[in-house]
Amino acid sequence: MTSDLERLSECDSIISNILIDAVWGFTVVKTAQPKLDVAPLKDFVIDVIAQYNYNTHKLNEQLLSMQLIRDYLRRKRIVYKDLFKQHLHVYSLLFHPSTPVVVKFNSRLSNLTQKEEYCLIATRTIPKNTPIKNCLATLTRITAKQDQDLTDMNNDWSVLCSLSTGTRIFLGPARFANHDCDYNCQLERNKDHINLVTRREIRKGDEVLLNYGPHYFGDKNENCFCQTCEDRGDGAFQHLNKANENQLRTRFNSYIRSNTRSSTNNSDSPKSSASSSLTPLSSHSSLDELDDLLCDNDMCTSDKLVGEKECHTCIVHRRIYQNTWPKRSRLISTTEALKEMDASESDSSDNDQGSDYMSPNIQTSKHPHIRTSKLESLNIHLI
Ligand SMILES: C[S@@+](CC[C@H](N)C(=O)[O-])C[C@H]1O[C@@H](n2cnc3c(N)ncnc32)[C@H](O)[C@@H]1O
């Protein structure tokens, strides 16, 4: 019988493959994990996200109506279909214009672990003690045997948390939070999901970081590669200095091997081109600098013009949000724009969207009957 964990991990792989890998050109789903052939559909997926990113329910409807997904779900039991829909929603929320984090490639950690590592980066400042909006995970209980198997497999998408109710695993976008001994977030459970909640203010450009526990990376985290350990000469850095980076890698890899029953597959090794072409995240020294960058890919810096020189991340981001990375605009229908106008007239205090909705490019020529000046004041991009 299929367990909760097997169902959730399959959903997570299929959905990550569609909504992260196909869209951004990443490889968060490794070769051994289940996936569908979404490559031919990636433009369709990006277009659908561009059209419905502000309305997650509609976005899900559109994604679920894709033939590939319908064919895939047709063979599945109802319990799986329901889980898939719920988990799809959790991932679709990442694209909402009000979501304050993005999944990014992390070249620093990839260089150290010699695996392809991703992370969560804040795209705006998030105050202390605040749940990170739309960055959730789904919890599932696991048995002691599954716990052991996952530890043996050193599964990247899993962080185990021993709660009073037993061992559980969380899957969903929050799983991209890496560990740092000086973490800025913690997991908190709400009714259906778990949230990442800030322990201190997280500033725009900062990585969202969790504490996986004191012995996740070996005894007293002696194999931890976090920035804090590097700064303090602790964890994996305690006996070695920067000149011994190769030793560090060898040490981490032998730690991985000693915890791995089945051998890791080829896709676990970092993309050589990606790791060399990406600027380490720590290079964002000032907050304002992030506004000037198109993204954290050094092929795409502020001294280059937008357009043909944009990198893949920027091109896709612009297609989805009509804006430069990491700014998000809304792309909504005229009906909805009018509804928003009425709503804003009746409730001018609703400022939830803040200054992150930035789209001055209202296509008024297509919609001459719309009250343009009001729409402009709402910063709404019409379709
Ligand atoms: C839950 S995942 C976090 C997301 C992961 N970077 C990814 O791309 O899927 C846990 C994995 O991230 C990496 N990782 C996270 N924090 C780390 C740290 N402080 N030191 C070493 N590896 C870390 C390890 O490869 C670990 O197995």
Between residues 114 and 335, which one has the greater pLDDT?
114
What's the rounded Cα separation, in Å, for the pair 253 and 224? 12
- In a 3-state reduction of DSSP, which class is residue 85? helix
Nearest to residue 37, comparing CAs of 12, 72, 4? 72
Tens of pLDDT, residues 132-176? 999 998 877 767 776 666 666 555 545 455 545 556 677 899 999
Residue type, 236: A
Tokens of 86: 């719920």
156 Cβ below 6 A of ligand 1: yes
pTM higher than 0.80 for the full model? no
Rounded distance from Cα 179 to ligand 1 centre (Å): 7
Q: Where are the beta strands (DSSP E) in the chain?
A: 101-105, 118-122, 131-141, 160-163, 166-171, 178-179, 185-189, 194-198, 209-210, 331-332, 381-382
217 Cβ below 6 A of ligand 1: yes
Between residues 332 and 116, which one has the greater pLDDT?
116
Q: Which of 109, 158, 269, when mutated, tests ligand 1's pocket best, judged by the most ligand atoms within 8 Å of its CB?
A: 109
Residue type, 45: V
Rounded distance from Cα 262 to ligand 1 centre (Å): 18
237 Cβ below 6 A of ligand 1: no
Residues in the chain: 383
- Does position 376 have pLDDT exceeding 60, yes or no? no
Task: Give me the residue label for tokens 């194999």.
Answer: 223
178 Cβ below 6 A of ligand 1: yes
**Most confident segment among 228-237, 261-270, 317-326:** 228-237
Rounded distance from Cα 37 to ligand 1 centre (Å): 26
DSSP lists the bridge partners of residue 178 as 209
Binning the chain into helix, strand and coil, the percentages to the nearest 5 are: 45, 15, 40
Q: Which atom of ligand 1 is nearest to the CA of 176?
A: 4
The CATH architecture of the domain made up of 100-283 is Beta Complex (2.170)
What's the rounded Cα separation, in Å, for the pair 36 and 21? 11
Ligand 1, atom 24, lies closest to the CA of 156
What's the rounded Cα separation, in Å, for the pair 89 and 172? 10
159 Cβ below 6 A of ligand 1: yes
Rounded distance from Cα 258 to ligand 1 centre (Å): 17
pLDDT value at residue 215: 85
Between residues 329 and 114, which one has the greater pLDDT?
114
Residue type, 115: K
Q: Which atom of ligand 1 is nearest to the CA of 229?
A: 19
Rg for the chain, CA atoms, rounded: 21
Which burial class, exposed, middle or buried, applies to 98 when counting CB atoms under 10 A from its CB (0-12, 13-18, 19+)? Answer: middle
User: What is the CATH topology of the domain spanning 1-97?
Assistant: Arc Repressor Mutant, subunit A (1.10.10)
Tokens of 121: 């980066």
Rounded distance from Cα 309 to ligand 1 centre (Å): 31
The mean pLDDT value of the chain amounts to 74
295 Cβ below 6 A of ligand 1: no
118 Cβ below 6 A of ligand 1: yes
Rounded distance from Cα 271 to ligand 1 centre (Å): 16
pLDDT value at residue 36: 93
Task: Give me the residue label for tokens 């029953």.
Answer: 261
pLDDT value at residue 127: 97
Helix axes 42-52, 56-64, angle to 10 degrees: 150
Rounded distance from Cα 155 to ligand 1 centre (Å): 10
Rounded distance from Cα 168 to ligand 1 centre (Å): 18
Ligand 1, atom 13, lies closest to the CA of 178
Ligand 1, atom 14, lies closest to the CA of 178
ipTM: 0.99
Q: Which atom of ligand 1 is nearest to the CA of 181?
A: 19
Tens of pLDDT, residues 256-265? 555 543 333 3
What does the buried/exposed string (b/e) look like for 275-309 if buried means 16 or more CB atoms within 10 Å of the residue's CB? beebbebeebeeeeebeebbbbbebbeeeeeeeee
Q: Lowest-confidence range among 9-18, 150-159, 173-182, 334-343?
A: 150-159
Domain with CATH 2.170.270.10 in the chain: 100-283
The DSSP secondary-structure symbol of 286 reads: S
Domain with CATH 1.10.10 in the chain: 1-97
Rounded distance from Cα 23 to ligand 1 centre (Å): 22
Secondary structure, 3-state, 345-360:
HHCCCCCCCHHHECCC
175 Cβ below 6 A of ligand 1: yes
Q: What is the dihedral of CA 141, 144, 150, 156, to 10 degrees?
A: 40
What's the rounded Cα separation, in Å, for the pair 329 and 44? 19
Rounded distance from Cα 51 to ligand 1 centre (Å): 33
